[in-house]
A and B are shown apart, each in its own frame.
Chain A
Amino acid sequence: MYNDKVMDHFMNPRNVGEIQDADGAGQVGNPVCGDVMRITIRVEDGKIADIKFRTFGCGAAIATSSMVTELVKGLTLDEAMEVSNKAVAEALGGLPAQKMHCSNLAADALHKAIEDYRAKHPANSGA
């Protein structure tokens, strides 16, 4: 049901964990639907210097979390805000149709983390 790329990110997830004293943190989903994702970021010079995730969820939830961390590391915050859930799914070579809505939330968690950073750092919230 999952392609090789999804299975690779599921079995060998990149950037698992939580950044201590993170500059921004974002959490989406809820246990009722079975997927919860938390992303923490460290920002340097307006760019995502480090990013980590923790996820409770299915194969697609874990793989999209892993993929989004890989996609945005090193990007400016504005660039990272442009990365959509759809783009994450495309980078994984596609997800089963029934997973597109319930488990494909990793970009939302990332955007929340960036918004959290910007709320805490209004002076240097630009690119």
Chain B
Amino acid sequence: MTSDSENKAGVRRVYLDHSATTPVRAEVMGAMMPYFAGQFGNPSSIHRWGREARAAVEDARAKVASLIGAAPQEIIFTSGGTEADNLAIRGTAWHKRSKGNHLITSSVEHHAVLHTCETLEKEGFKVTYLPVDKYGMIDPEDVEKAITDETILITIMHGQNEVGTIEPVREIGQIARRHGVTFHVDAVQSAGKIPIDVSDMNIDLLTMSSHKMYGPKGVGALYVRKGVRLSPQATGGSHERGLRAGTENVPGIVGFGEACRLAKEEMPEESLRLTRLRDRLIGGILDSIPDTVLNGHPTIRLPHHVNISFKFIEGESILLNLDLMGIGASSGSACTSGSLEPSHVLLAMGLPHELAHGSVRMTLGKGNSEEDIDYVISVLPPIVSKLRDMSVFR
């Protein structure tokens, strides 16, 4: 994409890609700063420097746990969401291999889950990939039907990252509990956005990522319910209860903790504000541009998440035009995925290839105002009609 300096002076800047990543909040950065140089100790050391770092890590662990209704000792810090997904899935599969070799997941999971499951298939495990409905929603009944005597893990995401649909994890959790199957939830997109209670939802393992919620990149966590056993995937020292070897990323963990504390405190108000902006954006686009379709569930969706397909045109060409107007968004088009296939999520929902290629994801965040939304709604119609005038499918 074009660099900042290439944008015309005076053009409004609207970042609408908060599901890709978010800026680190000033409060978060402030909390992190002392732990780079001043309080730089290794939390495993017994001296004063080590104890200071240990106290900071444990304080952060309590804040992360509090966001999801967990106990602090149930939080394992990782390098991010992908590592936490790997630890949860591979760690369960290999630990429980003597009990069974079957995993259940869905066809709309993030690649961190899907590709991990595919790797396990090559290693001899069997995986069921559940279908979804036209909104990208999994049917809990399908989960129950897929369970066999061999099933050792169910892994289902909470907030769908591409289309924003919120999956029925509470219902799936009840089923998993009833059948005694370990239940992992990838909550990278939902944590800090909508309430999560791991006890109420019967979740055994839950993945979180710091940089999706105004914390730093390079840090995440896996919630591991007390009593749930995993095979560690990185071996070494006895850090993180022996589940994740390696010296802790202290500044990152401190920032993640602060981000969780702020998210919990602000969630009731911020999720309402984002929902209003989201619905203003969806309504504005669907009303002003013909032949547009909302992807994902209209109401059971993440408060900050919009995904719309524009018929007859392709996503990357829309993104390039938006970028020139100062707007940052993303697309499920093959052209932006680095492969020849459009989004596996949109295809699993039954969208024809043309509509999948023509999808644009706009994910809102703290920095976005009503004026930003109205600017996007004013800028989009001429972009779409210009591209449609050029299109073969006009």
List the interface of chain A (C-beta within 8 A of B). Answer: 1-2, 7, 10-11, 13, 16, 27, 31-38, 54-62, 98-99, 102-103
B313 to chain A: closest CB distance in Å?
Answer: 7
Chain A residues positioned under 8 Å from B315 (CB to CB): 58
The contact string, 1 if C-beta is below 8 Å from chain A, for chain B 319-353, is: 01100100000000111001010100000000011
Binds A, one of B101-109, B148-156, B287-295, B384-392: B384-392
* Contact partner, A54, options B1, B320, B391, Cβ 8 Å: B391
Within 337-394 of B, Cβ neighbours of A (below 8 Å) are at: 338, 340, 342, 352-354, 357, 389-394
> Can you list 20 A-B pairs, Cβ within 8 angstroms, ordered by A?
A1-B1, A7-B2, A7-B320, A10-B320, A13-B390, A31-B352, A31-B354, A31-B393, A37-B392, A55-B390, A55-B391, A56-B313, A56-B314, A56-B354, A56-B391, A59-B316, A59-B317, A59-B320, A102-B340, A103-B335
- Interchain pairs with CB closer than 8 A, number: 71
In the complex, residue of chain B having the shortest beta-carbon distance to the beta carbon of A53: B390
* Contact partner, A34, options B321, B338, B353, Cβ 8 Å: B353
Chain A residues positioned under 8 Å from B352 (CB to CB): 31
Chain B residues positioned under 8 Å from A57 (CB to CB): 314, 317, 335
How many residues does chain B have at the interface if contact means C-beta atoms less than 8 Å apart? 27
Given contacts A31-B357, A36-B392, A57-B335, 19 further A-B pairs with CB under 8 A are A1-B1, A7-B2, A11-B321, A16-B390, A31-B353, A31-B354, A34-B314, A34-B335, A34-B340, A54-B390, A56-B354, A56-B392, A57-B317, A58-B314, A58-B333, A58-B335, A62-B317, A62-B390, A103-B335
* Contact partner, B392, options A11, A27, A58, A60, Cβ 8 Å: A27
A11 to chain B: closest CB distance in Å?
Answer: 7
A10–B320 Cα gap in the complex (Å)? 9
7 smallest beta-carbon distances between A and B, as pairs: A58-B335, A58-B316, A34-B357, A31-B354, A56-B391, A32-B353, A56-B392
A84 to chain B: closest CB distance in Å?
Answer: 21
A89 to chain B: closest CB distance in Å?
Answer: 16
B380 to chain A: closest CB distance in Å?
Answer: 16
Q: Contacts A1-B1, A34-B353: A16 and B312 contacting too (C-beta < 8 A)? A: no
Q: Is the CB of B390 within 8 A of A33?
A: no
* Contact partner, A56, options B312, B321, B342, Cβ 8 Å: B312
Q: Contacts A31-B357, A32-B353: A58 and B390 contacting too (C-beta < 8 A)? A: no
A30 to chain B: closest CB distance in Å?
Answer: 8
Chain A residues positioned under 8 Å from B392 (CB to CB): 27, 36-38, 54-56
Q: Is the CB of B317 within 8 A of A34?
A: no
Chain A residues positioned under 8 Å from B334 (CB to CB): 33-34, 102
A68 to chain B: closest CB distance in Å?
Answer: 14
A52–B320 Cα gap in the complex (Å)? 23
Q: Is the CB of B393 within 8 A of A36?
A: yes
